Amino acid sequence: MPGWENNVRKVVPYTPGEQPKIRDLIKLNTNENPYPPSPHVLEALRAMDADALRRYPDPAAEALTEAIAEHCKVPVSCVFPGVGSDDVLAMSFLTFFASGREILFPDITYSFYDVWADLFRIPWEAQPLDENFEIRNRDYFKENGGVIFANPNAPTGVLKRLDSVREILEHNRNVVVIVDEAYIDFARTAEEAAVGSDTPADSALNLIGDYENLLVVRTLSKSRSLAGIRIGYAVGSEKLIRYLNDVKYSINSYTMNQAAITAGCAAFQDEAYFRRCTSGIIRTRERVKKELSALGFLFPDSAANFLFITHPKLNARDLFCSLRQAKILVRYFDRPRIDNYLRVTIGTDEQMDALIRFLRTVLN
């Protein structure tokens, strides 16, 4: 090995979901929204002044921050926008997990957590989910350097109820607790989503006023169909947001580009479209749960826009390959405890019907 390589920061990187360029593919592997963004978004982007692209964007992304604050019903000083929730989460790891003690997160969860921890030289310890893929709260009652968990969890889709989230917070008042709510907008019934309170009942946003050390991270990639624009945000106490901004402005002042700011503001202006899309996905999810159960598939009760399925008579890796040959792409994780499961994004009704037909053929 050349001498200079001894000084390279080496990590095992996160593996993103495949983005193949295959015609007529049914793409159910990356939890993207199957519906386009609000028409308001496209209109706003078309109306952008070219001069806006010549100039640097607002470093504080004030217009977007105000739109998020209004949506979440919090002060502007409690909001931190970023380039997708991944950017916000990475910044949060760098900012808040600096004690030298091990941070805690589940052993089956979003697989970027251990990557960021290793990249930033943060010690960590994964806490095993129980046999039902549930977080055991008592595992998070010990001394630690911080806590992070996704709710609903990924890739399982399991939702932790608000009273259970509160219990973890009560036992961790001296560290920062991050709740990653990338999928929270799907954690309700279709009827609730259609009429729409802005904040689901089990969202940790309902606890922001009670815990100065709580940071809630969200994204516009899933429920608002903006994965290609990259917008995420954090909501927390003014003190937490101030610390995040200090780190951000020490790295890159202009994290949010003008097109993203424009698109994000427009997305929050069309709540009716947002409610129609999320309620439609939830209805499809609940229908597909019944059809998969009838075929003998097993899965946790998902509160997200995906299902985590297994079948006692089918090998998940083989099924993944067969589905891919049929131009239906799902996600397979070659990891302990979950290597016989597939994560299936909820697509349109037509896409899910095609999936069910294929699975029925395989089983027959």
Average the pLDDT over 150-161 and give the result: 98
CA–chain centroid gap for 116, Å, is 15
CA–chain centroid gap for 289, Å, is 21
**In this predicted model, which residue has the larger pLDDT, 101 or 20?**
101
Residue 141's closest CA among 181, 180, 175, 96? 175
Q: How high is the pLDDT of residue 103?
A: 98
Residue 212's closest CA among 159, 161, 172, 160? 172
30 burial (CB, 10 Å; 0-12 / 13-18 / 19+) is: middle
- Kindly report the average pLDDT of the chain as a whole number: 95
Q: How high is the pLDDT of residue 196?
A: 66
Q: How high is the pLDDT of residue 193?
A: 87
pLDDT (tens digit per residue) in 237-266: 999 999 999 999 999 999 999 999 999 999
State the CB neighbour count (10 A cutoff) for residue 361: 10
- pLDDT of 298 strictly over 80: yes
- Tell me the C-alpha distance between 107 and 233, whole Å: 25
Q: How high is the pLDDT of residue 297?
A: 98
Neighbouring-strand partners of residue 104: 125, 147
- Tell me the C-alpha distance between 81 and 7, whole Å: 33
Query: Does pTM top 0.85 for this prediction?
Result: yes
Residue 84's closest CA among 188, 196, 176, 218? 218
- Confidence label for 2 from pLDDT (cuts 50, 70 and 90): confident
Query: Which backbone phi and psi does 185 adopt, to 5 degrees?
Result: -65, -15
- pLDDT of 137 strictly over 80: yes
- pLDDT of 80 strictly over 70: yes
Mind listing the domains of the chain with CATH numbers?
17-36+272-363 (3.90.1150.10), 39-270 (3.40.640.10)
Identify residue 23 by its one-letter amino acid code: R
Q: How high is the pLDDT of residue 197?
A: 61
- Confidence label for 284 from pLDDT (cuts 50, 70 and 90): very high
- Confidence label for 10 from pLDDT (cuts 50, 70 and 90): confident
- pLDDT of 23 strictly over 90: no
- Tell me the C-alpha distance between 192 and 21, whole Å: 36
Identify residue 312 by its one-letter amino acid code: P
